[in-house]
Amino acid sequence: MTTGSSIDGVLVQWGERLFYPASRIVKPDATPRLNTPNRPSAAAIRQRIAATVVRRAPQVMIKVTGGGRGMGAIAAHFRYICKNGQLRIEDDRGVVREGKEAMHDLVQQWRVSGSLIPETSHRREAFNIMLSMPHGTDAQTVLKAARGFAKRELRDHHYVMVLHEHQANPHVHLSVKAESIDGKRLNPRKTDLHRWRETFAEKLRELGVEAEATRQASRGANRRDERIWQGKARQQGRLSQRDEQQVKSGANYERSRSGAFQAWARIKKALQASDVPEDRELAKHIVRFVSESAYFKEVAPRLQREAARQDRQRTTPVQSREVVKTRPSVDLER
C-alpha cells in the first residue's frame, strides 16, 4: 500500500490540473509539497472528486452573453432583462427598483456616473453575464448566490441583476459597467470565467446547494456549450438538426482531454493503492465516470485498436519483426 502523504501529494499535484485554472497549474515535482501557499489541500481535492464522480453534482453555468456598445444598447438590455419594468432589478448597493420610471432613472444614472457613456460607442461599455443552475434549483437561492458572486468578483463596478424564474432553468441576468469605479476596464478572459464559475459554485454550496464548476475537459465533454439562441429555439421547437450543439475537435481539444485523462489515471492509481477503503471505492467511481464520458467513448475504439496492434507486435517472432521494420512506414494521415 502507498503511504497517506504520498497519495495526498498525488491528489494535490494532479487534482490541480483537473479542477483549477491553467494559471494555477504548476510543473510536476518529484516530491510534491502540500504546504505551498494557495494550493488546495488533499481533502479539498477529495471533496471535488467525490462531488464530480460520485454524487454527480450539478454544474453551474456562467456565460458572457454580450455587452452594450453605448447607452442605447445598455438601456435596451435593461428593458429586456426586467421585462420593461415588470421584474425587479437590483443594483450593486442592494437597492431594488421596479417599474418603467425606476428603470429610466437607472439608465440616466449609468449614463453620467463615472465617464460619460454616449448613446453609441465604438467600445463595449457594459458586459452582460448570465448565471444559471439546472431545473429544480430554488430560484431565490440562485439569486442569493449571484449576489454573493457579484459582491466578490465585481465589487469595484456598478452592476444590476434580475432573476428569471419563469423559464426551465432559474438564472440571473447581470449587467456590469465595463469601467470600474477607479477607472479600470473589465476584460474577462477564459481563466476569469473559470474563476467566476468557481466562485458561483462556492456561494451556492454555502447556501446548502450542491454545485460544481468542473471544466469540460475534466468531464470529458465533447460538445460546445449551447448558445442562448439555441436554447430559446429548442424551447420553441424551432431548433434544426443543423443548429444542434457542435462536437468539438482539433489539437487543443485533444490536448486538454488527453491531459485530463492522464490526471484521472494518476489519481485513480494512487487511490487504488491506498489502505483506506474509501479511497479504493473512490477509485472505482473514477473508472466508471471516465468510461461513461463522451470523450472516452469517442477514443475507446482507437485505444482498443492500438492495444490490439501492440499485442500483435509482442507475439510476432523476432525474425518477422525485423522484416516488418524494413518495410516503408504507413502514412496514417492519408
Per DSSP bridges, beta strands 159-164 and 126-132 are unpaired
Give me the pLDDT at residue 174, please.
97
C-alpha cell belonging to residue 322: 525485423
Among the four given CATH numbers 3.30.70.120, 3.40.50.970, 3.30.930.30, 2.60.40.1930, the one describing domain 61-206: 3.30.930.30
Whole-angstrom CA distances from 86 to 78, 83, 100 are 11, 5, 8
Per DSSP bridges, beta strands 61-66 and 159-164 are unpaired
Segments of the chain with pLDDT less than 50: 23-37, 229-230, 243, 320-334
Give me the pLDDT at residue 246, please.
66
Q: Is the pTM of this model over 0.85?
A: no
Write out pLDDT tens, residues 66-118: 989 999 999 999 999 999 999 999 999 999 999 999 999 999 999 998 889 99
Which residue(s) pair with 163 in the sheet?
172
Write out pLDDT tens, residues 27-38: 444 444 444 445
**Residue ranges per domain, the chain?**
4-57+250-292, 61-206
Give me the pLDDT at residue 32, please.
44
Q: What 3-state class would DSSP assign to 322?
A: helix
Give me the pLDDT at residue 244, please.
52
Give me the pLDDT at residue 14, please.
94
Please name the residue ranges forming H helices in the chain. 4-19, 42-49, 71-81, 100-112, 139-153, 190-206, 216-219, 228-235, 251-272, 277-292, 294-315, 318-326
Nearest-Å Rg of the Cα atoms of the chain is 25
